[in-house]
A and B are shown apart, each in its own frame.
Chain A
């Protein structure tokens, strides 16, 4: 009897187990992220989607990815080249075998479209998110359109016409086709008009996009468009007008040294920067510009891998760049140092006897005018003459005066694949450039006199008091001025391309590109990444000549 009862219990138990089987068991959780449906009920989601565009834009500007920095901005131009001896070949700098499998052009494309994609998500979801204050929504959409326009501008100048993706991608579509260059420009201008209408005149917080930032970008875009076959004379005049507005709002800082001083990074002249700051959470990768244009100085006697000069990235300025400065141009001293001081004591042999140099003593020196061998032999430190910048000396292959324009003493020595951790603001727009945009726009509108006046004002700040005459103003003059004023800050390659000077000036002044002499007309457009062509099944077509 008892036995049967147990059996019954057993059977009931089984039945119970059978009965509990139901759909609700299939549950999943992922507390590391939330679904967009959940997020739509929170008005803060909109702010976060907008902020994400800032983040992507900042992060892909400070580097393309760990180990790849600024390569499509300054390499292969008249003022920056690769930091090696004048031998060998390279794709981006020397334009030798620059092909669609190039990793950097693929990264750059990906980065720009990731910004566009984040902007599209913010725009498309703005109306679904509940409780967003209308003014916040208007400004936020304006801000992300500014970034979208900036990315399309970068894309169209580098690659020519590119696919216009203006909405959030929700399915795995692959059949993208390239819009014409003109259509991309039309879209950029449309976004910038919306941005100008939407964003605030004065920022609600430092670092936000303001109307002046939009005006400045718009003036760059119009100036560039003016040169195009579909450009209009009015593009130049509008560019000048916009630049004048920006200039009127942002007075130049009194001296260039003060402008570049880390103590004065927020000043009247600057109106758009990416912020990093000291918090590891909000700093992201960190500003990497302090790593610009430095050679492996630490391989020399007396030097260590310290946190004063930091690790450099590979590219170095050309001799042409260093020779651009007049003796009394204050920008030279504010931009680079010719003297590198010892971190630790070292002993050198001078005239057959050992000489000890103490920390703080001169370890490396770059004279502006070449020293004689006798002069060099008489000092205990390393002397590198201008003609030896790209000649191997047993220690490093290339060595040029070290940059200090972006210095940030105290930031740890980092390899290019590690967080750079720079905390300085990364200045993206300042009225110094507006003067140069205005000058170029006036020149192209046949008004060299006003162009000369703008250049005179800008140069006077650098201590060059002789007025520029209308007759002196040429595109080359303006490009030289841009080099002195803006190296490392704006995209030099796009400046040279816009003005039609890329081939001429690069082949003349970039020693590596000159040696290989491979730069051709086709290089005015970068190759479309093969990855895009492969993954669209060929609906995206390659640029001619690649």
Chain B
């Protein structure tokens, strides 16, 4: 390694430094404020063509004569000019730039200095992603940007299950499912990775991301017109940087542990619980005996001889505990970059492994990237970039977790000879021993994804550039599922062995032709851009399921061995978007900035008459700081006001609107007439050819500030976002024969405030403590429904929801939980047709009975406010940081809790350890087991507010004097705990995914790991 390094060093020093031995030669070392050497700094004599770069140790040599001015410049640092007075050694210390101002923000088809930004854009930089240190890019976004709410809905390793809402729900979709985390109105934002639209970013290695820019207000997103209304997340992968070869290697390794597990009853507690279920079954009868008690229960009526024996033997199996293991997690990322003035290159390799907390769950990801950018001549530049991901995700069994929570603790996991027992008791013939699942069930997704771009930039004259960029996205994925003989679904019946293979083949491309013109003269600065853009996306899929295999040997690799073909299906669809975009930035005296954007968009999936729409926006910024009067004060070190107004759209795609759905389509199926298969044709849905663009009109007022010599910096944004023509799959009366249709249903408003704050709390000597806060609060109101309707009710995953004028979109609409009927309230309860022990709900209209008119809006599924706090402390070479992710004020129906209390006692599953009602101990939290009553549903709506600690990290930067001997530029070692704590009133597993049921679920986990960041 050292040899190789020396070789590389020798090669690149030779490559980049021209050294002459002449008089007036000056040499020195360039360091940063921490006294660390800075390699790759450009050192030039002003007004000459003499220029060198500092070497790996920050050293340089250059010819200069007294009186010259030597300029030291390097990205991320303030450029300094030093008058040369003839000394032989000139050591220079560079100061880091005020990042907030110099930072370059990606705004879509271009970039702009943050200082010149007129819209509302939050950025997450590589350092933040590195600090967060997550396995996937979306987790790394959580809590990092004000107004970006990320709900993780799936804890399985490698899963892309997230709901992301930027500034609340704009568009609304009811394609949500329980496995998707339940109801959450709104849609995920548009993701653009290196110029191409993607649905999911879990294929990215977070360490390969150079920055994520989140466009929030309509003036920023208008450049993506029809697809911008849910916000846009622009992600750039790391590219080459000018300078010597820079090699960075980082890794981490650790283990993952399940935690925050809801407790279950143990053996003896289960017996008590079972008796209480029997009592509940007596109480539930309209003429039940309310004097019946647990002591009256004859246990042998409900447990068979074997179970009674197990109870007598004190069997108490903790099924969850048996399932758990520590998962291994590791990542290795190698990045290299470098280049000359003309050519830069970057490449990287990465491997990630993430195991779950039960056997069978793991995720392996391999990433390779490479980019090259080169000036072919003075006016022509060519760049290519490739990003390839190969990933294998095993979600393991979808039943094991659920079985572990269902099985009675009085069953035995092992036979007397130590072998695994398939059914824990002889009587149990439904729920199998979950310890069999890992070996008997496979659910494996493999995918190969390629994202690339090739761009040609022509610069015929100085101010004008034309770029033609083609970005393909190709993804092949294969899902294979096999349920072996001893999996729960197969229950040891060979005919039920099932193999499924789904192949999906996705291709999309974006072809952007960008014209750019820059003009600078005197007080005027113009940056104008026009884009012609085309986007095409095509998908095909092939799905096969075959059952009845004589052996488990083939898994899903020999479908022809199965005797019963149950599914053979395929599909194909293609759609396109065509856009014409223009944007003009005009600056006057570097004080007044104006941005105007317009996009004319055509979408193939809307009907002929509504295919095209125009989305304009304008934004104004006033750099107050540059006014004379501001120069005289010393409170503010930065002050800028931004005001924007714009319009974006949504063609309904993210809500499930598919190709050709503006037309009546015939689907085909089959029936049996005359003992042969007869083809049938049916209308697949009710087409709505009047469906048009959903539009979002947004007003944003922002203030960027810096105080106390930028010890406190930040920004505040307030916005008012109005959505009209909201596209919704509107449920229709079933009388129509259709479940619903895509329709423009109404208008809503999102109003909110977002605050981002960076503070340097202490900066004294060796100790520095800085904090980054963000806070966002959004209020959504449905203003109007078209067609004289005042409300639309619908349900998702057992949660009853309503769109009602005056309330927030998708409000939870059900009976309101009001405690449990107590014994002494038997008479009052009876008036409502209820019994003691049952759930009491509010009689909203006070008419003395509970009817559907007593349903009311009882909560909202989107949080009322969210925030994040990152706190970093540095002492000498040590650093410590932690991060809090906060979400408050939302409600979900806890499908996790929806288990079978009222099941008949002989079959009663194990239950969660909760304080339920019994005649002896009259709880107001949970109903009597076996006696929930008609409104037991109401009890499961729960507040899912939480504060999660995202990470706690302690790092140590090995001092340069040690590293110098090892010829290493930088080395940091650290230890971290990921997701160490959660604070929540919610007593289920994970407040973020409370809407999920247990099927396919995975535990919430924390990870302990150590790692290093190494730079050469």
Residues of B within 8 A of A277 (CB): 672, 675
Residues of B within 8 A of A120 (CB): 737
Tell whether, in the assembled complex, residue A392 and residue B302 are in contact, meaning their CB atoms are under 8 Å apart.
Answer: yes
- Bits for A297-309, please: 1 = Cβ < 8 Å to B, else 0: 0110100111100
Tell whether, in the assembled complex, residue A35 and residue B736 are in contact, meaning their CB atoms are under 8 Å apart.
Answer: no
**Which range holds the interface residue count of chain A?**
35 or more
Residues of B within 8 A of A171 (CB): 686, 688
**Which range holds the interface residue count of chain B?**
35 or more
Tell whether, in the assembled complex, residue B905 and residue A117 are in contact, meaning their CB atoms are under 8 Å apart.
Answer: no
> What is the chain B residue whose CB lies nearest that of A391?
B301
- Bits for A520-536, please: 1 = Cβ < 8 Å to B, else 0: 00000000011110111
With A30-B572, A87-B281, A534-B793 in contact, do A396 and B906 touch (Cβ < 8 Å)?
yes
Tell whether, in the assembled complex, residue B731 and residue A26 are in contact, meaning their CB atoms are under 8 Å apart.
Answer: no
A36 to B686 alpha-carbon distance, docked (Å):
12
Tell whether, in the assembled complex, residue A58 and residue B427 are in contact, meaning their CB atoms are under 8 Å apart.
Answer: no
B564 within 8 A of A: yes
- The segment from A97-105, A186-194, A329-337, A471-479 that touches chain B is A97-105
A277 to B287 alpha-carbon distance, docked (Å):
48
Contact of A88 among B284, B611, B906 (CB under 8 A): B284
Contact of B686 among A51, A169, A283 (CB under 8 A): A169
Tell whether, in the assembled complex, residue B733 and residue A532 are in contact, meaning their CB atoms are under 8 Å apart.
Answer: yes
A297 to B670 alpha-carbon distance, docked (Å):
35
Min CB–CB distance B860 → chain A (angstroms): 20
Tell whether, in the assembled complex, residue A14 and residue B566 are in contact, meaning their CB atoms are under 8 Å apart.
Answer: no
With A52-B680, A88-B281 in contact, do A101 and B852 touch (Cβ < 8 Å)?
yes
Tell whether, in the assembled complex, residue B573 and residue A89 are in contact, meaning their CB atoms are under 8 Å apart.
Answer: no
Residues of B within 8 A of A173 (CB): 736
B864 within 8 A of A: no
> What is the chain A residue whose CB lies nearest that of B428?
A299
- Bits for B723-747, please: 1 = Cβ < 8 Å to A, else 0: 0000000111111111101010000
Residues of B within 8 A of A516 (CB): 285-286
Tell whether, in the assembled complex, residue A10 and residue B788 are in contact, meaning their CB atoms are under 8 Å apart.
Answer: no
Min CB–CB distance B541 → chain A (angstroms): 9
For window 504-548 of B, CB contacts with A under 8 Å fall at: 513, 515, 532, 534, 538, 548
Min CB–CB distance B701 → chain A (angstroms): 36
Tell whether, in the assembled complex, residue B493 and residue A172 are in contact, meaning their CB atoms are under 8 Å apart.
Answer: no
Tell whether, in the assembled complex, residue A10 and residue B572 are in contact, meaning their CB atoms are under 8 Å apart.
Answer: no
B102 within 8 A of A: no
Residues of A within 8 A of B463 (CB): none
- The segment from A200-208, A219-227, A441-449 that touches chain B is A200-208
Tell whether, in the assembled complex, residue A84 and residue B672 are in contact, meaning their CB atoms are under 8 Å apart.
Answer: no
Tell whether, in the assembled complex, residue A32 and residue B285 are in contact, meaning their CB atoms are under 8 Å apart.
Answer: no
A31 to B659 alpha-carbon distance, docked (Å):
10
Residues of B within 8 A of A58 (CB): 671
- Bits for A475-493, please: 1 = Cβ < 8 Å to B, else 0: 0000000000000000000
B9 within 8 A of A: no
With A14-B515, A87-B281, A121-B683 in contact, do A279 and B677 touch (Cβ < 8 Å)?
yes
Contact of B304 among A45, A395, A412, A515 (CB under 8 A): A395
B22 within 8 A of A: no
Residues of A within 8 A of B739 (CB): 110
A151 to B682 alpha-carbon distance, docked (Å):
18
- Bits for B786-828, please: 1 = Cβ < 8 Å to A, else 0: 0111111100000000000000000000000000000000000
- The segment from A17-25, A252-260, A495-503 that touches chain B is A17-25
Residues of B within 8 A of A393 (CB): 301
B48 within 8 A of A: no
Tell whether, in the assembled complex, residue A529 and residue B466 are in contact, meaning their CB atoms are under 8 Å apart.
Answer: no
- Bits for A24-45, please: 1 = Cβ < 8 Å to B, else 0: 0111111111111101000011
- Bits for A43-63, please: 1 = Cβ < 8 Å to B, else 0: 011011101101110100000
Contact of B852 among A6, A56, A109, A530 (CB under 8 A): A530
Contact of A532 among B677, B683, B734 (CB under 8 A): B734
A67 within 8 A of B: no
A121 to B737 alpha-carbon distance, docked (Å):
10
A131 to B733 alpha-carbon distance, docked (Å):
35
With A275-B673, A299-B429 in contact, do A172 and B466 touch (Cβ < 8 Å)?
no
Tell whether, in the assembled complex, residue B669 and residue A55 are in contact, meaning their CB atoms are under 8 Å apart.
Answer: yes
Contact of B534 among A25, A30, A207 (CB under 8 A): A25
> What is the chain A residue whose CB lies nearest that of B661?
A30
Tell whether, in the assembled complex, residue B670 and residue A28 are in contact, meaning their CB atoms are under 8 Å apart.
Answer: no
11 contacts between A and B (CB under 8 A): A7-B460, A14-B513, A28-B575, A35-B663, A51-B681, A58-B671, A87-B281, A207-B673, A207-B674, A394-B304, A412-B496
Q: What 9 pairs between A and B have smallest CB-CB spacing?
A: A117-B737, A205-B674, A48-B681, A282-B677, A55-B671, A52-B680, A31-B572, A282-B672, A110-B734
Given contacts A282-B677, A394-B305, A535-B732, 19 further A-B contacts (CB under 8 A): A10-B458, A21-B532, A26-B577, A28-B575, A29-B575, A30-B574, A34-B665, A45-B666, A85-B904, A114-B734, A117-B737, A173-B736, A203-B674, A206-B675, A207-B674, A279-B672, A284-B669, A284-B672, A534-B793
